[in-house]
Amino acid sequence: MKKIGVIGIPGGWSSEKLADSVAERTGFRLLVDPSSVRLDLPSGRAMFGEVELNSLDGLIIKKIGRSYSPDLLDRLEVFRFLAEQGMPIFSKPMSIIRVLDRLSCTITLQLTGIPMPPLTITEDVDAALDAVTTYGEAVFKPLYSTKARGMFVLQPGPEARAIIERHKAEHRIMYIQKKIELNGRDLGVVFLGGQYLTTYARTVRNDAWNTTTASGGKYQPHEPSQEIIALAHKAQAPFGLDFTCVDVVETADGPMVFEVSAFGGFRGIQEACGINAARHYADYVCGRIMA
């Protein structure tokens, strides 16, 4: 019997579902809260309670924290240590580190030639104000966030400078993206082991500017064009993630990519497509560890 642990959030829907799916395959269930792991560097032992993680046959990182922050990069270093010692970890911690920071992810996508909405990165308030004026409407995004948390839309106006200054007080480096017309939806294009799995749409509700479920967005099934699948495949390829979702928006200028997810979500796939992504992921991991 192989022992495969899941790094995630106790009580979290996706984390618990993945731990259950792994247990169905292996007979062993361990959901590891990353905030409760201790790494003893002299011995090289990583402990979760009484469980020595080094003794496991592998780990799957579903979530590394309840909310995104730079602290998660440090938390991932513990698992990078295990990976460098030879433990199979899905996805590799270094792959997650490269995509967790929104700016790092964006720079990689831009260097790969992926079409994205116009974007300004700056620490200067005047430059940020110029970007808002140029774009007409701009979305300010924290470098570490998910589901649109901390994001806001800004238009040129007498209060714009003061709003930018308040934002800069909390976010020294400002990530400012031109607001793109969503036409009511954007897409989550899902990949497992670098292979296309499925696509779902997130639709706008209640006149929200984004499609997140927190803003009333709903998941729906969607059959994408081959152009969109090819673009999303190219976007996720540089990161080498075992499971991910590429956020794509269809525009008058063709499809564009917003970002590549560090972890990918299960709920949208389940609700829109009827696919048990946790089971697919568990099968994928077990197939590689047990081979």
pLDDT class for 70, splitting at 50, 70, 90? confident
Residue 125: what are its φ and ψ, rounded to 5°?
-65, -40
Domain ranges within the chain, ordered by starting residue = 4-99+282-289, 101-115+181-275, 119-178
Instruction: Give the single-character DSSP code of 41.
Output: T
Res. 215: pLDDT tops 60: no
Distance of CA 177 to the CA centre of its chain: 18
pLDDT of residue 211: 59
d(CA 261, CA 40): 30
Indicate the SS3 state at residue 45.
strand
Distance CA 101, CA 287 (A): 30
- Residue environment code for 28-56, b if the CB has 16+ CB neighbours within 10 A, otherwise e: ebbbbbbeebeeeeeeeebebeeeebeeb
Distance from C-alpha of 20 to C-alpha of 29, rounded to nearest angstrom: 7
Where does the pLDDT of residue 119 fall: very low under 50, low under 70, confident under 90, or very high at 90 and above?
Answer: very high
Please spell the DSSP secondary structure of 214-269, one letter per residue. Answer: GGT-EEEE----HHHHHHHHHHHGGGT-SEEEEEEEEETTEEEEEEE-SS--SHHH
CB-count burial class (<10 Å; 0-12, 13-18, 19+) for 287: exposed
Domain topology for 4-99+282-289 = Rossmann fold (3.40.50)
CB 75 within 8 A of CB 65: yes
Task: Tell me what the mean pLDDT of segment 96-107 comes to.
Answer: 94
Q: Please state which architecture CATH assigns to domain 119-178.
A: 2-Layer Sandwich (3.30)
User: Tokens 């979530």 sit at which residue?
Assistant: 63
pLDDT: is 257 or 146 the higher one? 257
Determine the average pLDDT of the residues in 190-207: 90
pLDDT-derived band at 208, boundaries 50, 70, 90:
low
CB 136 within 8 A of CB 117: no
CATH of 101-115+181-275, one of 3.40.50.1000, 3.90.1150.10, 3.30.470.20, 3.40.190.150: 3.30.470.20
pLDDT tens per residue across span 150-181: 899 999 999 999 999 999 999 999 999 999 98
Specify the pLDDT at position 123: 98
Cis omega before residue 104 (within 30°)? no
Alpha-helical runs (H) found in the chain = 13-26, 71-84, 93-100, 102-111, 125-135, 160-170, 226-236, 267-273, 277-289
- 182 band by pLDDT with thresholds 50, 70 and 90: confident
Kindly list the distances between the CA atom of residue 271 and the CA atoms of 144, 204, 229, in Å, as whole numbers in the listed order: 26, 16, 20
| Predicted pLDDT at 135 | 98
For tokens 């007080």, name the residue.
169
| pLDDT per residue as tens digits for the range 261-282 | 999 889 989 999 999 999 999 9
Across 126-151, b (16+ Cβ under 10 Å) vs e yields: eebbebbeebeebbbbbbbebbbebb
| Summary mean pLDDT of the chain | 94
What phi and psi values does residue 246 have, to the nearest 5 degrees? -100, 125
Share of the chain above pLDDT 70, in %: 96
Q: Is the pLDDT of residue 210 over 70?
A: no
